[in-house]
Structure 1
Amino acid sequence: MTEYGRGQGSEPWHPEDPLYGDGGWGGQQAHPGQQSPYGGQPQHYPEQPQQPQYGDWGTGEQAGYGQAQQHYQYDQQYAAQTHGHQQYPGQGDHGHPQDQGYHQQQYDNGGWATGPHQQVSYPGDPADPYGQQTGAYGGGQSDYYGTPDAYPPPEPPGRRRAEPEPETDWDPGPDQGEHAFFAGDDDDDGDEPGDRRRRDEQRGRGGKPKKRRNGMACLVVVLILGGGVAGAGYFGYQFYQDRFGDAPDFAGDGSGQQVTVEIPRGALGYKIGQVLKDAGVVKSVDAFVTAQANNPDGQKLQDGVYTLQKQMSADSAVELMLSPESRDNLIIAEGKRNADIYRLIDKRLEVKEGTTAAVAKKDYKKLGLPAWALNQPNVKDPLEGFLYPSSYGIAKGQKPEGVLKQMVTRATETYEKLGVEKKAASLGLEDPWQLITVASMVQAEGTSHADFRKMAEVVYNRMKPGNPQTNGLLEFDSTYNYIKNQSKIDLSLSELRNYDNPYNTYFHKGLTPGPIDNPGEDAIKGALNPTDDGWYYFISLDGRTSEFTKTNAEHQKLVDKFNASRNN
């Protein structure tokens, strides 16, 4: 390899040189000075000072792909040593006119020419490594500036003037005498001539003038920030009211305008409050829920029909709903027989008496009875025991079958919840139907809920065929009264024991063919969980409580006491 600066020595490249002709990367044969495969620039001669392949970034001189960069003095030195006045690209000022034609012939032969005459490029300023660099595929493109004067030859290093530092758009900021926000850049008062000139030159070079920032921008920002603060305050207030403030509420006991509302079954506080709010009774659901929670009896509110007033305070609405005065429901009491319930439904629906009973007799299989309650023999009324005691919102215009179906559904759901079907066999019963029958007797004979478990044990003990006390007879006055559709207390033994009817437990052993009333939940629970104390007899001396005994002798003493109190 030759050293830099010798300027003599080696012969031109030999045709067998691997970089000559087909040995180069471009796959094309090249004459001396022909384009390099790196992008259209000629190969260097061996005696030429060798440039670093990728440029020397420390000196600002770069030999990139497609550009051989050299100093001016090297151009003059090697121009005399070229064969056939051969020139390097970028030295057209110092060659001969025929040299340009020679270069044109080279491009044509190499397939890179793009026109009849190619402008030769001049070397770029060493301080600007990209200033005159051509593209990899653009070695033959035209000079868009139209004249070689656009590219004056570089001066020798000794005669070069120091390049001024490029100007930028950097804003000196507030420390240089301009406020970063409020200062107007268009005002040149106080600027030195050099500053204005530099500003004008910057704009002349295509630099964008700085935007004018004045008081209007400040006003817009203030308005936006003010609106944001106001909005945040409003929503913050709403959030506080929703979480911690008092719910909207009316004052007083109402406007005097009555309104009827129906609370659906299973409705809880929020649902009840929504119904009342929609009807205009209370002002907000939250106010009602709060009032219900604050009332000691608030959880006792039931479904049904209520007569209230519009614009009531939530507290007064809760109190009125807990009062019987507001209830407009059909109340079915525990132990009520079906015959009585049919008459109550007819009256509430304002239909002819007997209408509901006829529907029950005809369509009882369509009203939702469970399978175990169907097809029972010798039953007086298949719906007995399934018109569940509760409060029902019933009003004129409804149909009897709809009301009956609602009651049967309530009973079926309650029995399923309490496990009637699952526990019947463990109590020695044939099916759940018998369990409901036991519960109906417990409901009819018991005088209080405290009696129900003892009363259930009396039934189960007497049902045993070999019991030494009653010999399998239940002997309940309530069964005789049921078949007679009456409720008498003073019944003679001769009357009771001589009436042949499946429902007369003085005449037939065991249970009646079906329930004799509609038991409530406590009576059903008593039948499901009887005591185990050996009770066989019971009597109520005051009509409010019952006394239980285990033997007939003990029982007879109480009977004599009762008769003495009645002067019998």
Structure 2
Amino acid sequence: MTEYGRGQGSEPWNPEDPLSGDGGWGGQQAQQGSQSPYGGRPQHYPQASEYGDWSQEQQPGYEGQQHPHHDGRPYDQQLAGHSRHQFHQGGWDATGTLGQVPYAADPGDPYGQQPVAYGGEQPDLYGTEDAYPPPEPPGRRRPEPGPESEPADDEEHVPAAAGGGAGDDGGHELATRRERRGKGRKPVKNKKRRTGCACMVVVLVFGGGLGGVGYFGYQFYQNRFGTAPDYAGDGTGETVTVEIPKGAGGWEIGRRLKEAGVVKSAEAFVHAQTNTPGADGIQAGAYLLKKEMSAASAVRLMLDPRSQNNVIVTPGERNSGVYAAIDKKLELSSGTTKKIAEKQYKFLGLPAWANNSGDVKDPLEGFLFPGTYPAAKGMKPDAILKQMVTQAKQKYAAYGLDDKAKELGVDNAFELVTVASLVQAEGKTHDDFRKMAEVVYNRLKPDNTETNRKLQFDSTYNYAKGTSNIHISEKEINSDPSPYNTYRYPGLPPGPIGNPGEDALKATLNPTHDGWVYFVATDGMSNTEFAKTYAEFLELRDKFNANSGN
């Protein structure tokens, strides 16, 4: 237990045992302090007139607070020098103990009704040179701050005796208070430092946020309203092939050109395309362009057919013509693509219902769908063929050929493609296609007595021969044993004889129902006329012979 000094003595003070002594003023005052609501601190003393012969002149400076007497000793020590009976008349009992009598407050004392502030039991140095902090007017004085929660480990706190004995040193108490104030300021300083750091972090975060907003705002403005980055001129001498897929819009085309180094930005290309008449008609395909071109130059060059590295499959074109075009575009020796097709056709994505029987001349015939396909030097023939087959497969699936076949009197989707190839090959105009489709279906009927289920198409014979001759003698036709000779064999040929386009495909699925069985190109070129009977057919044939000089 920490020992506390009482006055200048060395005896320990026990808070459970009130100070004992010779029964003098100091001991009894300590005993009274243990019962007082002021916790052992001296009570406020009333005016001296209430004590009888004790005059106010003996208390210079008294204003409701305990002040040091004129001889320099504390007030309670001076009282200790008088006999007890000397004050009995003024309120002291026989034992010398001050009775607990309430006293009225001094009306001239502004602090008389207030409790004694902390440290009030100590000498009041206000107005002296030892005062700290410097004195202030009474109206601005504030109570002293409360005591520290706990003293520091290295500081032994020595409380003043309840009665303010002779050993009580006001200077020591003032020094202790100064030390506590000094120590109390350190956490405030640290707190201010932490607050400053926190403010700095807030400033940095806020400043970084403003910088980020400003940057992205500038980028947004540049993208929406600023001039798009662009090259100048017609480009360098280095060329590059750019493939544009089907359905690509301006932004997609611009992105691909930028990735290939043709234009500097997709925005510049879109701007040039928007301001160039007809530029919205740029089609899918492969384009041979130069690097670092201005966007306007790139648009103009893409509109020039000479820049296009594409293979175009026309409606009704045979596979033999497609293979030759691919060889030319890829700068390959003649026949290269055809050989690859014969070896790789099973791996190019044909639909499951495609027929590859021995009688089929080319399993890919009818599956290289008409359209424009990229074909630039460096590309592989099988990759180009696969694009064409994929397009045909998607188109045929979209039209539901399997479901339509039975309704139209054929066995499967493959036969419908074959019919469409015949319609495409024999028809000359869009209006002819539906009539031509009805001619095919009527001749395939089992009850057909006009041709006995024989199609008798020149186109099938020419396909087998690899020709396009419309002047074929009857003797020549009848002598050809090819399964594609529809003059000799009834029914459909083994497979398609070309690649039908969408117009012919739609007509095949929606034929007329007028009873057409015969047709003749009476002008030998594009004017096809139709007949329902054999007699009508003979009239049309005579007309043809007259026009052709036969």
Corresponding letter in the other structure for 1:449:
H
Residue 564 of structure 1: CA displacement? 2.7
Which residues in structure 2 correspond to 1:308-347 (within 5 Å)? Answer: 308-347=289-328
Q: Hey, what does 1:563 align to over in structure 2? A: 545
Q: Which residue number corresponds to residue 285 of structure 2? A: 304
**Cα separation, 2, equivalents of 1:434 and 1:166:** 114
- Following the alignment from structure 1 to structure 2, what is the Cα–Cα distance between the partners of residues 486 and 559? 22
Root mean square deviation, CA, Å: 4.5
Alpha-carbon offset, residue 439 of structure 1: 1.1
1:125 alignment partner in structure 2: 38
Instruction: Mark the CA change 1:225 to 1:409 in structure 2 (over 3 Å): closer, same or farther.
Output: closer
Correspondence list, 1:485-564, <5 A: 485-540=466-521, 541=523, 543-564=525-546
Change (3 A) 1:308 1:395: closer
Q: Give 3-state SS (helix, strand or coil) of 1:158's partner.
A: coil
Corresponding position of 1:181: none
* Bigger mean CA deviation after superposition, 509-518 or 447-456: 447-456
For 1:458 and 1:157, how far apart are their aligned partners in 2? 135
Seen in structure 2, the aligned counterparts of structure 1 residues 470 and 156 have a Cα distance that, compared at 3 Å, is farther
The aligned counterpart of 2:415 is: 434
**In 1, Cα distance between equivalents of 2:391 and 2:424:** 18
Residue in structure 1 matched with residue 439 of structure 2 by the alignment: 458
Helix, strand or coil at the partner of 1:92: coil
Q: Secondary structure at the match of 1:372?
A: coil
Which residue does the alignment assign to 1:163? 114
Q: Confirm or deny: 8 A CA contact 1:501 1:508 kept in the other structure.
A: no
Amino acid at match of 2:408: L
Which AA in structure 1 matches 2:242?
Answer: V
In structure 2, relative to structure 1, the CA distance for the partners of 1:242 and 1:377 (3 Å cut) is same
Distance 1:502 1:538 in 2: 23
Q: 1:237 to 1:416 in 2, by over 3 A?
A: same
Choose 246-255 or 465-474, whichever is displaced more: 246-255
In structure 1, the gaps of 5 or more residues are 1-88, 98-119, 129-148, 168-190, 213-217
After TM superposition, the structure 1 = structure 2 runs for residues 114-263 of structure 1, keeping only pairs within 5 Å, are 123-125=36-38, 157-158=102-103, 161-163=112-114, 193-194=136-137, 205=181, 206=184, 232=213, 234-245=215-226, 247-250=228-231, 253-254=234-235, 257-263=238-244
User: Aligned with 1:507: secondary structure?
Assistant: coil
Q: What is the distance in 1 between the residues matched to 2:259 and 2:403?
A: 43
Task: State the one-letter code of the partner of 2:312.
Answer: I
Q: Identity rate of aligned residues, in percent?
A: 55
Q: Where does residue 406 of structure 1 map in the other structure? A: 387
How big is the shift at 1:462?
1.7
Aligned partner of 1:163: which letter?
A: Q
Distance 2:143 2:260 in 1: 77
**Amino acid across the alignment from 1:342:** Y
For residue 336 of structure 1, give the secondary structure of its aligned residue in structure 2: coil
Please state if 1:92 is matched with 2:92: no
Assess, with a 3 A threshold, how the Cα gap between structure 1 residues 522 and 192 changes in structure 2: closer, same or farther.
Answer: farther
> Does the CA contact (< 8 Å) of 1:447 and 1:546 recur in 2?
yes
CA contact (8 A) 1:91 1:123 kept: no
| Preserved CA contact (<8 Å) 1:262 1:305 | yes
Cα deviation per residue 1:538-561 (whole Å; 9 max; x = unaligned)?
Answer: 333373453333334444444333
- 3-state SS of the aligned residue for 2:353? helix
Structure 1 residues 42-99: Cα deviation after superposition (integer angstroms, max 9, x where no partner)? xxxxxxxxxxxxxxxxxxxxxxxxxxxxxxxxxxxxxxxxxxxxxxx989369999xx
Mark the CA change 1:311 to 1:551 in structure 2 (over 3 Å): closer, same or farther: farther
- How many equivalent pairs are there? 408
For 1:266 and 1:251, how far apart are their aligned partners in 2?
28
CA distance in structure 2 between the aligned counterparts of 1:560 and 1:417, rounded to whole angstroms:
43
Tell me, yes or no, if structure 1 residue 376 matches structure 2 residue 357. Answer: yes
For 1:238-264, what per-residue CA distance to the aligned partner results, in whole angstroms no more than 9, with x for missing partners?
A: 333434555444456545653322234
CA distance in 2, matches of 1:505, 1:195: 130
Instruction: Kindly provide the amino acid, as one letter, of the partner of residue 288 in structure 2.
Output: T
Q: Unpaired runs of 5+ in structure 2?
A: 1-14, 24-32, 42-75, 77-97, 106-111, 119-133, 146-176, 194-198
Distance 1:234 1:451, change over 3 A: same
- Quick check: 2:524–2:547 contact (8 Å CA) kept in 1? no
Closer, same or farther: CA 256–94 of 1 in aligned 2, 3 Å: same
Shift of 1:123: 4.8
Structure-2-length-normalised TM-score = 0.62
Alpha-carbon distance change, 398 to 222 in structure 1, aligned in 2, over 3 angstroms? closer
Q: Distance in 2 between matches of 1:350 and 1:220?
A: 67
Instruction: Check the 8 A contact 1:478/1:487 in 2, yes or no.
Output: yes
Query: How far 1:512 moved relative to its partner?
Result: 0.4
Q: 1:159 to 1:440 in 2, by over 3 A?
A: same
Aligned to 1:37: none
Q: In the TM superposition, what is the alpha-carbon distance from 1:457 to its structure 2 partner? A: 1.7
| 1:377 Cα offset (Å) | 4.6
The 1:432–1:223 alpha-carbon spacing in structure 2 relative to 1, beyond 3 Å, is closer
The residue identity in structure 2 corresponding to 1:429 is V
Q: Distance in 2 between matches of 1:439 and 1:236?
A: 58
Name 1:188's counterpart in structure 2: none
Q: Is contact 2:461-2:485 (8 Å) kept?
A: yes
The alpha-carbon deviation at position 482 of structure 1 amounts to 0.6
Q: CA contact under 8 A between 2:524 and 2:548: conserved in structure 1? A: no
Q: CA deviation at 1:397?
A: 4.0
Indicate yes or no: 2:393 matched with 1:393.
no
2:451 maps to which residue? 470
Could you tell me which amino acid in structure 2 is paired with residue 92 of structure 1?
P
Give the distance between the partners of 2:471 and 2:117, measured in 1 at CA.
126
CA distance in 2 between partners of 1:232 and 1:154 (Å): 79
**Counterpart of 1:371 in 2: which secondary structure?**
coil
CA distance in 1, matches of 2:230, 2:288: 20
**Partner amino acid, structure 1, of 2:444:** M
- The offset of 1:481, in angstroms, is 0.5
CA 1:360–1:231 in structure 2 vs 1: closer, same or farther (change >3 Å)? closer
Partners of 2:139 and 2:286 lie apart in 1 by 90
The 1-side partners of 2:459 and 2:342 are apart by: 23
CA separation of 1:192 and 1:240: change in aligned 2, threshold 3 A: farther
Q: Which amino acid aligns with 2:18?
A: G
* Cα 1:544/1:123, change in 2 over 3 Å: farther
Q: Deviations over 1:209-238 (max 9, x none)?
A: 9989xxxxx999999999977765554343
**Amino acid of the structure 2 residue aligned with 1:535:** W
Name which of structure 1's ranges 258-267 and 332-341 shifts more when overlaid on structure 2. Answer: 258-267
- What TM-score, normalized by structure 1, do the two folds share? 0.60
Contact 1:125–1:154 (CA under 8 A) maintained in structure 2: no
- Determine whether 1:355 maps to 2:336: yes
Q: Distance in 2 between matches of 1:533 and 1:195?
A: 124
Q: Secondary structure of 1:308's partner?
A: strand
User: Retained in 1: the 8 A contact 2:518–2:533?
Assistant: yes
SS at match of 1:456: helix
**CA–CA distance in structure 1, aligned partners of residues 218 and 104 of structure 2:** 78
Aligned-residue offset at 1:317: 2.9
The Cα offsets for residues 97-126 of structure 1, whole Å up to 9 and x where unpaired, read as 9xxxxxxxxxxxxxxxxxxxxxx9665439
Which amino acid in 2 is paired with 1:125?
Answer: Y
Give the Å deviation of 1:530. 1.9
1:313–1:418 Cα change, 3 Å: farther
